[in-house]
Amino acid sequence: MFAETTVERGHVTHGNDGSAYVRFYKRHEKGVSKDFVEIMFPGDTKTIVNRQVKDDDKMRWTQQWRAYEAGEAFKAEGCPLEQWPAVAQDEGLIRDLNHKHIYTVEQLAAVSDQNLANIGIGARELVAKANAFLDVRKDTQAAEKYAQLAEQSQAENKLLREQVADLAKRLQEVEDAKEDKRKRSAKEAA
């Protein structure tokens, strides 16, 4: 599967920008502090873009830019490789993948075909495992969400049943009081 070229907000992308490792930082040039960006794509060890920040970089990677402006370090979102059972025990593989700018399962799953060779033997299978893990995780999260919704519905239904029973009891008391009053009125009239 080759990376698809898309145009969004006037910016041409090749593949998934969301999986890129992007770091904003300050650099001093000729006594002036300027904002710079470093862009690395998972699995690509040869291409590192390092340049002054452009306005479209701020829109392209808004989360990273906001973190930079707030003085916080931005961490790649997703499941860290260290927590993925398929590689958690292989510190050497994790270190190797980190060296190739791959820190999360999501980044591994997004490695382009052009960069598979940079990962090494078994890369295609590893990427397939990462995609399968993410699919299962997504399904599990959906199942958990529906289970939680079902629990909420059951709790709401129980509360509604209790309220209906209480209202029925009160209505019966009102009806009984009316009946008693009618019987008293009938006795008094007789």
**Span 21-75, pLDDT tens digits:** 788 888 888 888 889 988 888 777 777 888 989 988 888 888 888 888 888 776 6
Per DSSP, what are the bridge partners of residue 35? 26
Residue 158 corresponds to which amino acid? K
For residue 8, pLDDT over 60 is answered with no
State both tokens at 5.
């070229």
Q: What angle do CA 30, 61, 1 make, to 5 degrees?
A: 120
For residue 101, pLDDT over 50 is answered with yes
Q: Specify if 85 maps to a domain.
A: yes
For residue 1, pLDDT over 80 is answered with no
Name the burial class of residue 172, with classes exposed (0-12), middle (13-18) and buried (19+) by CB atoms within 10 angstroms of its CB: exposed
The predicted pLDDT at position 4 comes to 44
Average pLDDT, the chain: 81
Domain of 40? Answer: 5-143
Q: Specify if 178 maps to a domain.
A: no
How many Cβ atoms are within 10 Å of 102's Cβ, its own excluded? 31
pTM: 0.51
Q: Specify if 69 maps to a domain.
A: yes
The predicted pLDDT at position 72 comes to 77
How many domains does the structure of the chain reveal? 1
State both tokens at 29.
């040039």
Q: Specify if 190 maps to a domain.
A: no
The predicted pLDDT at position 164 comes to 92
Q: Specify if 116 maps to a domain.
A: yes
